[in-house]
Amino acid sequence: MEIDANTSLYAVFGDPVSHSLSPIMHNEAFSHVGHNGIYLAFRVKEIGHAISAVRALDIQGISITLPHKVSVMAFLDELDETAEKVGAVNTIINQEGILKGYNSDGMGAIRALSEKTSIRGKEIIIIGAGGAARAIGFGIIAHGGNLTVTNRSRDRGELLAKDLGVGFCPFSEISKRKYQILINATPLGMFPGTDVMPIRRKDLGKEMVVMDIVYNPLKTRLLKEAEDIGCVTVDGVSMFIYQGAFQFELWTGKEAPVGVMKKVVLDALTGNRC
């Protein structure tokens, strides 16, 4: 990769962000297709100030991660239909100074989950009430799943359930309900807090499909425990790759090298990257 005066800048904004593999993934993809761009990670506390920097520095594309997926919307010029419906943004494109927000989290999650199981007609519970949970929830409903929301903060969980038009299960009552698919849409278990689980092992059933949107580590404690009792598991890498491919194609206008992106991420997570 050669950096010169014509190199386009891309970035991820989040807090924390040191764990992010987006720079490795996108920079490898840029290099593979010959796109003159570089992608960096920025720890951002004040999202409004960061968006002002996007305008001032003419940053061409931004990935948005926790905790800014909802709050960033107030600082954008336009929203695509999905992002507006979901009420959260994970991708921004700068089109000659006009900042437009998109959301590819739901698409990425549905594509990853569909590789392992069908969604239509299944009883599904999602843990979380943030931007990712909201996007995935809309995707589940659009594909015919019977969704229930649970969250440690009851007020936030009930608000999301109301917005989605689905049921809410108090966190303390998860063990009393039967679900076919469980999705963790919280950062619990993410590096460096890898010993944490969003629910107890005894709340898992061996007949469940268990998905964790956390991709670092590759196998979270939740997925390890779920595998141990016989569950089908879906790690966060596929969702991460698919939403990243959407971003890449939006920003560059070129077909994303999905295989290359997946390999470099898996190599980084398994320690095989030089």
Residue 91 covered by a domain: yes
Handedness of CA 99, 64, 186, 132 (dihedral sign): positive
Residue 40 sits in the same domain as residue 158:
no
Q: Alpha-carbon distance 39 to 238, whole Å?
A: 20
Which strand (E) or helix (H) includes residue 55?
A: helix 47-57
User: Taking residues 7-27, what's their average pLDDT?
Assistant: 96
Residue 254 covered by a domain: yes
pTM for the whole structure: 0.89
Residue 95 sits in the same domain as residue 117:
no
Mean pLDDT, the chain, integer: 95
- For 84-197, strand residue ranges (E) read 91-95, 98-102, 123-127, 146-150, 167-168, 181-184
Q: Alpha-carbon distance 3 to 194, whole Å?
A: 36
Residue 37 sits in the same domain as residue 76:
yes
Q: Alpha-carbon distance 22 to 208, whole Å?
A: 30
Residue 95 covered by a domain: yes
Does pLDDT of 75 surpass 80?
A: yes
Residue 17 covered by a domain: yes
Residue 124 covered by a domain: yes
Q: What is the CATH number of the domain that holds 115?
A: 3.40.50.720
| Helix, strand, coil shares, percent, the chain, to 5 | 40, 20, 40
Tell me the one-letter amino acid at 117.
T
Does pLDDT of 81 surpass 60?
A: yes
Question: C-alpha 73: how far from its chain's center?
Answer: 17
Residue 162 is among the residues annotated as catalytic for this protein: no
Residue 221 sits in the same domain as residue 114:
yes
Residue 25 covered by a domain: yes
**Maximum separation of any 2 CA atoms in the chain, in Å:** 60
Residue 149 sits in the same domain as residue 189:
yes
Residue 112 sits in the same domain as residue 221:
yes
Q: What is the pLDDT of residue 274?
A: 39
User: Which structural domain range is residue 115 located in?
Assistant: 106-234
Residue 2 covered by a domain: no
User: Taking residues 208-228, what's their average pLDDT?
Assistant: 95
Integer-rounded Cα Rg, in Å, for the chain is 18
Q: What is the CATH number of the domain that holds 40?
A: 3.40.50.10860
Q: Alpha-carbon distance 109 to 52, whole Å?
A: 30
Record the tokens describing residue 118, joined without a space: 């069908």
Residue 70 sits in the same domain as residue 110:
no
Q: Which residues pair with 209 in a beta bridge?
A: 181, 232
Residue 220 covered by a domain: yes
Residue 120 sits in the same domain as residue 227:
yes
Residue 218 sits in the same domain as residue 144:
yes
Residue 183 sits in the same domain as residue 254:
no
Does pLDDT of 6 surpass 50?
A: yes
- Angle among Cα 42, 48, 49 to the nearest 5 degrees reads 60
Record the tokens describing residue 103, joined without a space: 């959301």
Residue 111 sits in the same domain as residue 194:
yes
Residue 64 sits in the same domain as residue 112:
no
Q: Of 69, 100, 116, 262, which one is the catalytic site residue?
A: 69
Tell me the one-letter amino acid at 15.
D
Q: What is the pLDDT of residue 273?
A: 53
pLDDT digits (tens, 9 = 90+) for 149-195: 999 999 999 999 999 999 999 999 998 888 999 999 999 999 889 99
Q: What is the pLDDT of residue 177?
A: 87
**What is the tally of structural domains in the chain?**
2
